[in-house]
Amino acid sequence: MNLSTGFPYWLVKHGLAYDYPRLETSIKTDVVIIGGGISGALIAYYLVENNIDCILIEKRTVALGSTGASTSLLQYELDIPLCILSETIGYRPAARAYQLSYEAIDELRLIMQKIKFTDFNKSSSLYYAAAKKDEDLIMDEYEIRKKSGFGVEYLGEEELKTTYGISAANAIHSPQGGCVNAYMLTHALLQYCIKKGLQVYDRTHIEDMEYLDDGVKLKTVNGSVIETKRIVNATGYEGAGLIDKPVVTLRSRYAVTSQRSESTEFWKDSCMIRNTEDPSLFFRVTDDHRIIIGGKDEPYTDPAERDKLINAKSEQMITDFKNLFPHIDFIPEFSWAGSYCTTKDTLPYIGSYASIPHTYFAMGFGSNGITLSLVAAEIIADTLLGHQHRDAALFSFERN
């Protein structure tokens, strides 16, 4: 599947950051991680830190799938507001899912400190009513987040205008969040793990899997064989195709980046901004003073149809941005499109699937896929170590 196109900012900025070999020989290992994006890299980190023998393979070049097209926001909010998710799956599991995503941001900061990765900025977030009809939604969301122990601040129309220059009915401000470079974080995690013994192979395409009583044999297109006890599938949206029931809906998302500005702060604290539209629109600032706008999702049909809309979607997003911030001169430089998946309840699918033996899936979908990928890495590492993670059932394929 063609997961992205156009000129993703991170790829333009960094190019091919590291080279990884293609697997040319046969090999044995305890665990094979399939997928060289941020999900696979985080899983590799957790497995290596727990002394689990593993290798990682990627059929493309590392991090050139969805990770390279990510806008790389770290938000604990799921794509469905907590007040609505609570009505869907119940208050306790909904609040727990939000809490896990919240805690994942702090854990990611600790990991980045440990591996000495610095392309991260702590950032608060603002969630505002895109229309007057959403005023009650913001109020309900504020009340349930406050009840759940999240440190949030309610902003009315006047305070929102005075503080952020935004004309909207109301908003929620949260101090928990961050902006990261997911493309380079993926490489940094893998480079750290390689130094601790991980083997990483890209451009290594699996064409066949033979499931045995005690493991799996994977055969690559060039004839190499990998013998392993377990597989962790971190291919994201492509991995969903292995499941014999519909678990995801594929969508296309668009993004556009401004030219570099001499301004160091475009709005208060350069916080992440997201609105209540469905699909939502969101803004963030990069460390070199660019603004990234993302959103305007569409149902995915095929790459050609997705790509035809890049220019029109970019223009729409820029227009919306200028309506919100007429005093900011947004001059576009790079635009792109990527594909992502949503689930019926916005929660990831993590763990084993009954009809596929010796295999665990890490499907951290949605706008906060990075934080959910960390949750997946923790759960899968615990499972491989023989422990029962307390939250595994929340994300299992068997959930209602």
Closest CA to 82 of 150, 155, 129: 150
pTM: predicted TM-score of the whole model, two decimal places? 0.95
pLDDT in the model for residue 318 = 97
Q: What is the phi/psi pair of residue 386, to 5°?
A: 90, 15
Tell me how far apart the 2 most distant CA atoms of the chain are, in Å: 66
Q: Which string of b and e fits 236-254 if b means at least 16 CB within 10 Å?
A: bbbbbeebeeebbebbbbb
For 23-78, give the DSSP string: P-S-EEEEEEEE--SHHHHHHHHHHHHTT--EEEE-SSSTT-STGGG---EE-S--
pLDDT in the model for residue 338 = 86
Asked if 102 contacts 77 with a C-beta cutoff of 8 angstroms, the reply is: no
- Give the domain ranges of the chain: 4-70+183-246+346-395, 122-177+248-342
pLDDT in the model for residue 39 = 95
Cα separation, 161 vs 248, whole angstroms: 38
CATH class of 4-70+183-246+346-395: alpha beta
Closest CA to 373 of 54, 113, 66, 104: 104
pLDDT in the model for residue 277 = 94
Supply the angle between the helices 91-114 and 82-89 in degrees, to the nearest 10: 120
Architecture per CATH, domain 122-177+248-342, reads as 2-Layer Sandwich (3.30)
For 92-153, give the DSSP string: HHHHHHHHHHHHHHHHHHHHHHHTT---EEE--EEEE-SSGGGHHHHHHHHHHHHHTT---E
Asked if 189 contacts 131 with a C-beta cutoff of 8 angstroms, the reply is: no
Output the tens digit of pLDDT for each of the chain's 400 residues: 555 567 899 999 999 999 999 999 999 999 999 999 999 999 999 999 999 999 999 999 999 988 998 999 999 999 899 999 999 999 999 999 999 999 999 999 999 999 999 999 999 999 999 999 999 999 999 999 999 999 999 999 999 999 999 999 999 999 999 999 999 999 999 999 999 999 999 999 999 999 999 999 999 999 999 999 999 999 977 787 788 888 888 889 999 999 999 988 899 999 999 999 988 999 999 999 999 999 999 988 788 888 999 999 999 999 999 999 999 999 999 999 988 888 889 899 999 999 999 999 998 766 678 999 999 999 999 999 999 999 999 999 998 6
pLDDT in the model for residue 55 = 98
DSSP summary character for residue 326: T
Cα separation, 259 vs 277, whole angstroms: 26
DSSP summary character for residue 175: S
